[in-house]
């Protein structure tokens, strides 16, 4: 990714994922569920957000296996969807908040290159941040549980679909493990990458990120 060091890449990925999760928590609080704040998750402290699998093992495995798409995530913030006001649209906005946050970050970090002269190292850093956030946003659009896109689509379909998706999440790792394995397999397949890359390229063009 533009030659930025791996350690810097991982730090950017971590904090982009943390802001993604904080956005879910803030949106949930706005709609009436303060579970994330009560559990200390509305914070930039990375210790509160690190998940051994999603934050460390998953991106490291994808990197080691040579996947062109490196995906990781912070520990999901706890949300009690049934405490949300306007249940259906509360779920929609809570679920899409992280995606919108990553797209906003990508937009913000491309602005300086449009309106001012920046050095090449700073430009590489800003473009790297924008790229990582576009990747996170697009990956989280995938409509497979537990990815955010599944709940966004479920909210558009109605409460019955939301209940089916949330029931999987409330079962914990055993309810979601088959989907996590499926996601890992998909990320390793050329066909799936061929679907994702045009979407990523669209946002690169939209934000003026060099391909």
Residue 36 near residue 28, CB atoms below 8 Å: yes
Length of the chain (residues): 211
Cis check: omega of the bond before 36, within 30 degrees of 0: no
Cα–Cα distance between 49 and 45 in angstroms, integer?
A: 7
Residue 74 near residue 55, CB atoms below 8 Å: yes
User: Catalytic: 159?
Assistant: no
Cα–Cα distance between 32 and 41 in angstroms, integer?
A: 16
Instruction: Point out the catalytic residue in the list 21, 131, 159, 169.
Output: 21
Q: What is the DSSP string of 141-205?
A: T--STTSHHHHHHHHHH-HHHHHHHHHHHHTTHHHHHHHHHHHHHHHT-HHHHHHHHHHHHHHHH
Which are the catalytic amino acids? 21
């Amino acid at each position: 990714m533009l030659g930025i060091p791996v350690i810097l890449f991982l730090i950017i990925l971590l904090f982009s994922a943390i802001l993604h999760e904080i956005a879910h928590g803030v949106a949930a609080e706005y709609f009436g569920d303060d579970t994330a704040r009560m559990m200390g998750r509305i914070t930039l402290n990375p210790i509160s957000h690190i998940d051994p699998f999603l934050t460390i093992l998953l991106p490291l495995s994808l990197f080691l296996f040579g996947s062109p798409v490196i995906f990781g995530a912070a520990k999901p913030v706890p949300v009690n969807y049934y405490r949300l006001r306007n249940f259906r649209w509360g779920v929609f906005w809570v679920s899409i908040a992280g995606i919108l946050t990553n797209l906003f970050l990508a937009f913000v970090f491309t602005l300086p290159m449009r309106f001012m002269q920046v050095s090449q190292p700073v430009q590489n850093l800003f473009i790297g941040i924008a790229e990582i956030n576009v990747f996170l946003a697009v990956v989280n659009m995938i409509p497979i549980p537990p990815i955010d896109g599944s709940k966004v689509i479920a909210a558009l379909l109605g409460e019955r679909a939301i209940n089916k998706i949330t029931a999987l999440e409330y079962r914990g790792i055993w309810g979601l493990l088959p989907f996590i394995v499926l996601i890992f397999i998909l990320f390793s397949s050329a066909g799936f990458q061929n679907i994702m890359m045009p979407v990523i390229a669209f946002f690169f063009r939209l934000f003026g990120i060099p391909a």
